Amino acid sequence: MPKSSSFLKGVMPLVYAIVAVPVFFVLYLWFLVDGFGLFGEPVCRTEVQGRLAGLSGFDFEISETSCFFDPAVSVFVSKAGEKKKTLLFKYFPLYIGPYPTITSIGEHAVQISVLRVSSIFCRRDEWDALTVKYDIGIVDYPGQSGEPDECQGT
């Protein structure tokens, strides 16, 4: 027993170095490559932060998408009770939360309020029969034109 057990004790570090270390290294590189998106899309995670149903006749969803340290907050709208969503407003927050508030200001009108954003990606002032007003406190990086692009899509 002394010869075989001492042989195994001597060989195990070598087996570990040949098998386990390269496997760990490959898994680590795969995480980094996938996270940075070098060979495809970066890893993105979306979490719904809130839903409002029936506000001024429409449903709203606030979600946060983070693609490898690049968070964005989006507000979607849909007709009351329908599943098809349309992007209404998207911005990059300065910090995580607080999220925008959406309040009814009329029969088919809402106001989206947020205290501070880093920059605005896009926004819509109208969708279907809905009118949207914005109350945005501070925009740290307003962009070159000063006005954000209109959100695309239906």
Angle at 125 between CA 124 and CA 126, to 5 degrees: 95
Higher-confidence position of 88 and 152: 88
Helix or strand holding residue 104 (H, E): strand 101-106
Q: Give me the residue spans of the domains in the chain.
A: 1-42, 44-150
- SS3 of 35-63: HHCCCCCCCEEEEEEEEEEEECCEEEEEE
CA 33 to centroid of chain Cα atoms: 19
Residues 17-49 pLDDT 10s: 787 777 777 766 666 555 555 556 667 889 999
Could you give the CA distance from residue 14 to residue 20 in angstroms, rounded to a whole number? 10
Closest CA to 32 of 79, 85, 68, 60: 68
| pLDDT score, position 98 | 81
Measuring CA to CA, how many Å separate 58 from each of 52, 100, 124, 142?
Answer: 8, 17, 15, 29
In the predicted model, is pLDDT for residue 77 greater than 60? Answer: yes
Please give the structure tokens belonging to residue 146: 């000063």
Per DSSP, 19 falls in state I
Closest CA to 72 of 30, 40, 130, 114: 114
Could you give the CA distance from residue 49 to residue 114 in angstroms, rounded to a whole number? 14
Mean pLDDT calculated for residue range 79-97: 90
Residues 93-135 pLDDT 10s: 987 768 999 999 999 999 999 999 999 999 999 999 999 999 9
Q: What are phi and psi of 119, to 5 degrees?
A: -155, 160
